[in-house]
Amino acid sequence: MNAGKLTTSTKVYSYLGIQPWGGVLGDSRITNITVQNLVDHTGGWNRDVSPVGDPVFSTIQISTQMGLSYPAAPTNVISWMFSKPLDFAPGATNAYSNFGYQILGRVIEKASAKRYIDYIQQDLLGAASNTNLIGFTNIIQSRSRPRDLDPWESWYADSPTVTRSAVDYPTNLFVRWVDGAGYWESFDAFGGISASAIGLCNYLRNYWMAGDQRYPGEYYGWGYIFYGSLPGVTSVIYQNITQNPTSTNGLEFAALFNARTGGDDNGEAEAAIYSASTNITSWPTNGGGMIQWSVPQVNVDKSAGNVTVQLVRSGLSTLPVKVSYMTYAKNAGLANYVPSSGVLSFAAGETSKNVSVTILNDGGSGPPKQLLLELVSASGGAWLGDPFTCIVNILEQNIPARFISETMLTNGLFRAQISGATGLVLRVELSTNLVNWAPLQTFTNSTGLLTVTDPNAGTRPRSFYRAVVQ
């Protein structure tokens, strides 16, 4: 709208140009529906009384009736619904409508000349808000099949009941709702986006929920709560803030759960989190200071024994405060580091502390490993800054083993020298045909250069040897 491509009064039927299935509008009033009607859920659809219910969840029915050979996309659903009568005159009343927001997604796509998810990621949020240092994207398109989920995305708890897969139409595959019976790819603008709590909190820092863009220091007061719920998913976003040029007060949070029990999950979650917030006695205050890692990532050799990362406190730091931290594995394992956690105390005026993590040499050779040093909470008036995550890259310095000299002694012994990194665990194997291999000797290289012998080499017509890193 700011670019002048449309207004709240833009009529969506003529703007989109999506024709009704069969070529005839199911209701002449469809041509009067505006962008504002869709935003306000006053477009004319009421899923509670409509004979078609909530059409966004009926893609199999729509694909079948329209004779499609693929799962009904949002434009197919819209075309099908434009051939049906409205439930009330646009603007006459309010009824929550997922379908109205599915139409708004197509309006955004046409106005921006981008896919809906691309507009959200690139324009609404931007790279700074959508890229997470831990390694995942904060806001992504949801996927139906478990195999297509993002590596960082949670699994979803759902009823074991299986129904026909919408994402795999026209096959007769039967799956759980969260595994494809719900066609998440078509939900985008009303519920088909997967987000992290970090991503949603970044959104709250930049926008008044369901309102305007948020600017630091502006005079503004805003209160809004939104509940989200689908099979396998429950979410709550809460924003109640009073802001002026000198202070920001209130509470805002995002809570995401990978299950839905069927009860008042949203309300119970909101009440529990709000209740917990009332018992917090340490809020950020002048003198507490901001605590963060001094660097967003650090490299360490796997044979270094440990890695040390500095915590720094900035701003007015006149109060004694505490901060807690914990290590998390990214692709590093227990053979690469010793998990640790703790609480560090900063004295009044103290502005730095060091955190050390024990690094282990796994004796192998392979790509670098990563672990995360994560700040969990601060107390005493301090608050967490960014980076609150430091990525530790455990570098692989082990040089692959190689034979550097071979000798057949006069007594029939075979002797060879092998070069490799100190600490490397090696197994020398023997074969007579290059197909079947047997272990000859296993050892840990303690000097960088070692000697291996085969006392039975003279008894065989030929022998082959190889060094394997364990």
* pLDDT, tens digit (0-9, with 9 covering 90-100), for 149-167: 987 788 899 989 999 999 9
Question: What are the tens digits of pLDDT across the range 336-386?
Answer: 999 999 999 999 999 999 999 999 988 776 788 999 999 988 989 998 988
pLDDT value for 366: 73
Give the three-state DSSP class for 52. coil
Buried b (16+ CB within 10 A) or exposed e, 34-52: bbebbeebbbbbbbeebeb
Q: Give the whole-angstrom CA distance, residue 443 versus residue 424.
A: 8
pTM for this predicted structure: 0.68
Place of tokens 């449309």: 6
pLDDT value for 178: 94
pLDDT at 132 over 70: no
Q: Give the whole-angstrom CA distance, residue 176 versus residue 233.
A: 14
Q: What is the mean pLDDT of the chain?
A: 89
pLDDT at 397 over 80: no
**For the chain, what percent of residues have pLDDT higher than 70?**
93
pLDDT at 127 over 80: no
Question: What are the tens digits of pLDDT across the range 247-268?
Answer: 888 999 999 999 999 889 999 9
What is the phi/psi pair of residue 268, to 5°? -65, -40
pLDDT value for 212: 87
pLDDT at 417 over 80: no
Q: Which of 139-153, 200-214, 435-449 has the lowest mean pLDDT?
A: 435-449
Structure tokens at 120: 């959200």
pLDDT at 235 over 70: yes
Mean pLDDT (whole number) for 436-447: 78
Mean pLDDT (whole number) for 111-123: 92
Burial class of 329 by CB neighbour count within 10 A (0 to 12, 13 to 18, 19+): middle
pLDDT value for 411: 65
Mean pLDDT (whole number) for 217-223: 92
Contacts of 155 (CB under 8 A, 6+ apart): 146, 149, 258
Q: How far is CA 340 from the centre of its chain?
A: 24
pLDDT at 448 over 60: no
pLDDT value for 135: 61
Q: Please name the amino acid found at residue 390.
A: C
Report the phi/psi class of residue 166: left, alpha or beta, with left for phi > 0 and alpha for psi in -120 to 50.
Answer: alpha
Question: What are the tens digits of pLDDT across the range 298-338?
Answer: 998 888 899 999 999 999 999 999 999 999 988 899 999 99
β-strand partners of 299:
393
Question: What are the tens digits of pLDDT across the range 284-299?
Answer: 888 999 999 999 989 9
pLDDT value for 67: 97
Q: Which of 28-37, 131-140, 156-165, 428-437 has the lowest mean pLDDT?
A: 131-140
SS (H, E, C) 108-169: HHHHHCCCHHHHHHHHHHCHHHHECCCCCECEEECCCCHHHCCCCCCCCCCCCCCEECCCCC
- Domain locations in the chain as residue ranges: 1-195, 212-280, 290-395, 402-469
Pick the CATH number of 290-395 from 3.30.300.30, 3.40.50.80, 3.30.450.20, 2.60.40.2030: 2.60.40.2030
| 198 band by pLDDT with thresholds 50, 70 and 90 | confident
CA-nearest of 326, 331, 305, 302 to 394 is 302
Label the pairing between strands 383-384 and 290-293.
parallel
pLDDT value for 28: 96
CB 139 within 8 A of CB 124: no
pLDDT value for 372: 92
Complete DSSP assignment for 227-284: EEEETTEEEEEEEEEEEETTEEEEEEEEEEES---SSSHHHHHHHHHHHHHHT-----
CB 469 within 8 A of CB 419: no
| 100 band by pLDDT with thresholds 50, 70 and 90 | very high
| 94 band by pLDDT with thresholds 50, 70 and 90 | very high
pLDDT value for 237: 96
Structure tokens at 69: 């050979």
CATH architecture of residue range(s) 1-195: 3-Layer(aba) Sandwich (3.40)
